[in-house]
Amino acid sequence: MSHAINQTLEGKQVWQRLIEGNMRFAQGFFMGRNLLDLRRSLHRGQKPMAAVLCCSDSRVPAEIIFDQSLGDLFVVRSAGLTLDPTTIGSLEYAVAHLHVPLLVIKGHECCGAVTAAVEHPDLDEGHISAIVRQIAPAANRVRATGKTGRDLVETATIEFIASLQETLRRESSIIDEALARNLLHLVVSKYHMKDGRVEVIASTF
């Protein structure tokens, strides 16, 4: 029991560190680090403080946006944060074997994958269709409320990333159990490109 409580505190502390890093990034600063020493110290293994699921978009790398370095974050990226057995398995590895106390789902403003799901829900183009198909139901739910244009895309982004928490709990007993036992906390967030800030949409804190 005390173990679980410690893990809970740790998850909150990790999120605090990420928010502080994001504030540095938003202000245009970064924390200088000696990468040679850091790289050598990580030779024997990794102990990242959080797992992050984020988009492949070149403008949204988690390490830079949270001002973190080598060994800090276990990052799983896919266009639009879409999930499949390998991306879920990657997150499960971080939870079950690296024992990260925090999982951050980080969507972002102006997401091309969400825009494609809004504009071309029936897209038939290689495996890109699988990405669009996964996001389209959330986009359709938001469209049914009467939203259009940019407002529709941004609201659909929040609708989809918020639904990922439920998807992960349903598809992964490893993640579901870790959350239920407070060994893992989860933050759903959205990155805003103009001001560089990460906004919290939901959390288990």
Judge residue 195's burial from the number of C-beta atoms within 10 Å of its C-beta, 0-12 exposed, 13-18 middle, 19 or more buried.
Answer: exposed
**Residue placing its CB nearer to Zn ion in the complex, 135 or 174:** 135
Least spacing, CB of residue 16 vs Zn ion, in Å: 26
The one segment of 1-9, 49-57, 96-104, 180-188 that binds Zn ion by CB under 5 A = 49-57
Which amino acid, residue 15? W
Element spanning 201, H or E: strand 198-203
Site membership for Zn ion, residue 138 (CB under 5 A): no
Report the residue from 102, 111, 136, 139 that binds Zn ion according to the rule CB under 5 A: 111
Under the binding rule (CB under 5 A), the answer on residue 50 touching Zn ion is no
Segment contacting Zn ion (CB under 5 A): 87-95, 111-119, 141-149, 171-179? Answer: 111-119
Nearer to Zn ion, 57 or 176 (CB): 57
Residue 5 phi, psi dihedral angles, 5° rounding: -65, -45
Q: Which residues pair with 80 in a beta bridge?
A: none
According to the binding rule CB under 5 A, does residue 177 interact with Zn ion?
A: no
Question: In this complex, which beta carbon is closest to Zn ion, that of residue 100 or of residue 117?
Answer: 117
**Among the residue ranges 17-25, 47-55, 149-157, 161-169, the one whose residues contact Zn ion (CB under 5 A):** 47-55
With H, G, I as helix, E, B as strand and everything else as coil, classify residue 15: helix
105 versus 184: smaller Cβ distance to Zn ion: 105
Pick from 57, 171, 177, 199: which binds Zn ion (CB under 5 A)?
Answer: 57
55 binds Zn ion (CB under 5 A): yes
CA gap 68, 66 in Å, rounded: 6
Nearest distance from C-beta of residue 191 to Zn ion, angstroms:
9
Residues 6+ apart with CB under 8 A from 141: 159
Structure tokens at 30: 């970064």
Q: Which residue has the tokens 């398995």?
A: 89
Q: Does 171 bind Zn ion (CB under 5 A)?
A: no
The string of DSSP codes covering 149-191 is HHHHHHHHHHHHHHHHHHHHHHH-HHHHHHHHTTS-EEEEEEE
Q: Which residues bind Zn ion (CB under 5 A)?
A: 55, 57, 111, 113
